[in-house]
Structure 1
Amino acid sequence: MRSVNGDWRMYGLAALLLAMPLQAVADESVEALRAELERLKARIEQLERERANPVREVDLGSAVSGTERVPQDSEATEPVEPDVHVGGALRFNMVHRDFSETSKGKRGESGLDVFRLNVDGEIDNILVSAEYRFYSYMHTLHHGWIGYQFNDDSQLQFGVHRVPFGLQPYPAHNAWFGVPYYVGLGDDYDMGIKYQREDGPWQWQVAFYKNEELNDATSPERYSFDLVRNGDQQNEEINQWNGRGAYTFGLGTACETEVGGSLQAGEVYNATTDRRGDHWAAAAHLDSRCGRWHFQVSGIRYDYNPINPEGVSSDSVQVGAFAGTYDIASNADILVTNVAYNLPSPWKRIDSIICYNDYSQLFKDETGARDSRINTLGCAFGMGPLFTYVDYIFANNMAYFGDGSLAGTGAGDDDWHSRFNVNIGFYW
């Protein structure tokens, strides 16, 4: 018979033998857990590196044909929302014209000026800008282009956009503009490609335009003035180059003065003779904003040399816009002198008051031809979304004023005529 102590020793040995495999299992679990923790730690470090540097290699073989390529095992990212603004304007005119018996008899007229819609947007570095206009007598594209914004803030535009020539963006302060606009050398839009950049105070623009904006020189239903084909006049603008450079003195100060020059050269295609003539224009311009004052001065020279059929004079060429046409002198000089003052508003609800006097004159080359002049005295008032022009326009031998003519012939009107114009617009 065994003793009690011996029995306990037997039981202890058995317990030790049973515990040994359990301890081995526990040790193995600890090692497995430790390995799992090391693996998770390495994964966390990898994720931190990817977060700091999001560029990943793309397996081109896994890309879906015709779609954006997506790397294998990459996490889906939210698409970039385009920054697009839809705006527009609705404008009305109230007019009194001293050269119209109907206008004088009714003591003035009123009506729709324009209803327009604008779209401007950007996604990544891709730009888009477009505007369509509706008038009571026509509707037309004002501009429409797609562009790219480079990292150095330079820009490329393709489509129908503003031609870089002369005073920019507008060679006047008033709603009616002046001579440069009515001969196609101010706020003009054509179809082509343009590159522009700014280097501190320097601004550069270079462009090529294949043709006018509609690619239909027979239609005068357009916003900006171009050569149009009508009757004996069968000329149109093609293959035009533009360059504009300017330097701003006092950039970033309360008195900035931009001094620059512009060049334009292209061909004039005549549909009757199937031959190409040429045209060119050059401008020097100064645009100064000092305190509340704004001064604009510009001198322009232009020449059209079409190859017309026999019997058709080359002293004049025909331009068109706003559903109408008229002749202008083929060779002439233009002078622009504008001044404006931004008055402090005495009324809380009126945001801005700008008063101005804009003058421009067309000096025709042809001996005996009457020059054309237009002067506009007025003020523009800004009040929230409302913007109103109040203009008194005084013109001599100017298109749209009596029998005024911009042509180089002896025809025209020696009398001065006036137009009192109030243009009220709501913008959004």
Structure 2
Amino acid sequence: MKVQAKAAVFGCLFAALCSHSALSDDETVALLKQEIELLKARLEVLEQRNSSMPAVESLDLTAVSVPQRSAAESALEQSTSQEKPEETSPGVEVGGALRFNVVYRDDVEASEGKRGESGLDVFRLNIDGELNNFLISAEYRFYSYMNTIHHGWIGYEFEDESQIQFGISQVPFGILPYASHNAWYGVPYYVGLADDYDMGVKYLRQDGPWSTHLAFYKNEELNDASNPDRYSYDLVREGDQQNEEVNQVNARFAYTFGLGSSCETELGASVEAGQIYNSATDERGERSAAAVHMDSRCGRWNVQLQGGTYQYDPEDPVGVDDQVVRLGAFAGTYDIASDADIWVANLAYNFSSPWKQIDSITCYNDYSRLNKDLDGASDSQINTLGCAIGSGPLFTYIDYILAKNMPFFGGGSLGYGGDDDWESRLNINIGYY
């Protein structure tokens, strides 16, 4: 700007010399002195204006950006992670996704008759950011039948890169961030022990190969156990079941062998303990869960194994069956066995894409099972064979799901009875991130 201003002044001075060339020397000198004084004053004004404006080099044009989800990410809603911005260039990233489902269900007569169905899966908005080591992460979701918060927390990152998060955060339990590769998840999610979000405070740190998560959650994410319009499964109050989750502690410890190499294997253990408040009796029962897991990523292979158990011991009124408890999410509710074991065995392979339009192709087979300690109840199983395909901002799941005695598949149940036949579903989920 200064160079341009000076060039303009010298240009004007040159023009003045040309315009007064016909005058006498004394007249010319006098006029030129006047022109010089005027031009000096003009130059001072221009420089003052320039000094009050920010330099072009200092303008941060990337402070607000719309991130595109990497095709290599698991598109199972990993939205809490963020890249650390430069300390001198803090910012907030605003993102989101729009996803649709195409489904064919052999257990629904109308779906068979129509040769499949399609519709909106979810529209979501995300905010992630950092300012002077203070963090924020939030996500809100819009479904055709409900709107709900997915997560929302504020946090602080210490000098050793450990973090503390306060608000609605992911409960640290088992394989993280997801105990599955597919869009439909597995048994742990449907009993509230995977991709669960609650309201509280969480501390997490990484010491070389060691990973530590410690958390306390005061209650479920909405602080309204009568409302099933939520993303993650929690105890809900409905009918004679009047239980809700309170005062929960979580601890998760893991060690990664081969950290930083092409073959990393994480071994870990998780525990969860909390209380169950019953609004009918005004008393508190107990609940607990534990799991051990392995998450191995060697070359293009990923192997996930997990074994766990949980138990609910509610203080129900006399006459209420305490061998089942009621969970709710996605605007619906169902019963699960109060005491059960959970098994997970997942295998995935990331293929090298032969097409430049395709960034990644990951195929998998995810299997999980619920063994119930409940008389007269069949175990629940779900197996998903499929592929996830990433292409720029588009991410598509093509899943063939076989389920036995699972909710949303015929008369399947995670509690008593249920359907002991295998039901199938072809599910294609297409999303723009």
Please give the range of the TM-score, normalised by the shorter of the 2 chains.
0.7 to 0.9
Residue of structure 1 equivalent to 2:37 = none
Q: Which has the larger radius of gyration?
A: 1
Matches within 5 A, 1:61-80: none
- In the alignment, is the contact (CA less than 8 A) between 1:282 and 1:301 conserved in 2? yes
Matches within 5 A, 1:11-410: 82-407=90-415, 409=416
CA distance, structure 1, for counterparts of residue 255 and residue 146 of structure 2? 39
Pairwise CA distance, 1:363: 0.1
Equivalent position to 2:423, from 401, 417, 421: 417
Give runs of ≥4 in structure 1 deviating > 2 Å: 79-82
Identity %: 69
Pairwise CA distance, 1:83: 1.2
* C-alpha distance after superposition, 1:198-217 (max 9, x if no partner): 00000000000000000000
- In the alignment, is the contact (CA less than 8 A) between 1:354 and 1:380 conserved in 2? yes
CA distance, structure 2, for counterparts of residue 414 and residue 279 of structure 1? 28
Instruction: Give the aligned residue type for 1:419.
Output: R
* Count, aligned residues: 347
Classify the secondary structure of the residue corresponding to 1:279: strand
CA distance, structure 2, for counterparts of residue 404 and residue 95 of structure 1? 18
Pairwise CA distance, 1:347: 0.6
Pairwise CA distance, 1:81: 5.5
Residue of structure 1 equivalent to 2:50 = none
TM-score by length of 2: 0.80
TM-score by length of 1: 0.80
Classify the secondary structure of the residue corresponding to 1:218: coil
CA distance, structure 1, for counterparts of residue 283 and residue 152 of structure 2? 30
CA distance, structure 2, for counterparts of residue 152 and residue 274 of structure 1? 44
CA distance, structure 1, for counterparts of residue 174 and residue 222 of structure 2? 22
Instruction: Give the aligned residue type for 2:348.
Output: A
* C-alpha distance after superposition, 1:81-137 (max 9, x if no partner): 631000000000000000000100100000000000000000011000000000000
Alignment root-mean-square deviation, CA: 0.9
- In the alignment, is the contact (CA less than 8 A) between 1:402 and 1:413 conserved in 2? yes
Instruction: Give the aligned residue type for 1:219.
Output: N
Classify the secondary structure of the residue corresponding to 2:111: helix
Instruction: Give the aligned residue type for 1:240.
Output: Q
- In the alignment, is the contact (CA less than 8 A) between 1:128 and 1:147 conserved in 2? yes
CA distance, structure 2, for counterparts of residue 134 and residue 82 of structure 1? 29
Instruction: Give the aligned residue type for 2:253.
Output: G
Instruction: Give the aligned residue type for 2:418.
Output: G
CA distance, structure 2, for counterparts of residue 334 and residue 80 of structure 1? 47
Instruction: Give the aligned residue type for 1:256.
Output: E
For structure 1, the 5+ residue unaligned runs are 1-78
Pairwise CA distance, 1:80: 6.0
Classify the secondary structure of the residue corresponding to 1:363: strand
* C-alpha distance after superposition, 1:48-92 (max 9, x if no partner): xxxxxxxxxxxxxxxxxxxxxxxxxxxxxxx96631000000000
- In the alignment, is the contact (CA less than 8 A) between 1:138 and 1:323 conserved in 2? yes
For structure 2, the 5+ residue unaligned runs are 1-86
CA distance, structure 2, for counterparts of residue 294 and residue 81 of structure 1? 36
- In the alignment, is the contact (CA less than 8 A) between 1:80 and 1:123 conserved in 2? no
Pairwise CA distance, 1:366: 1.6
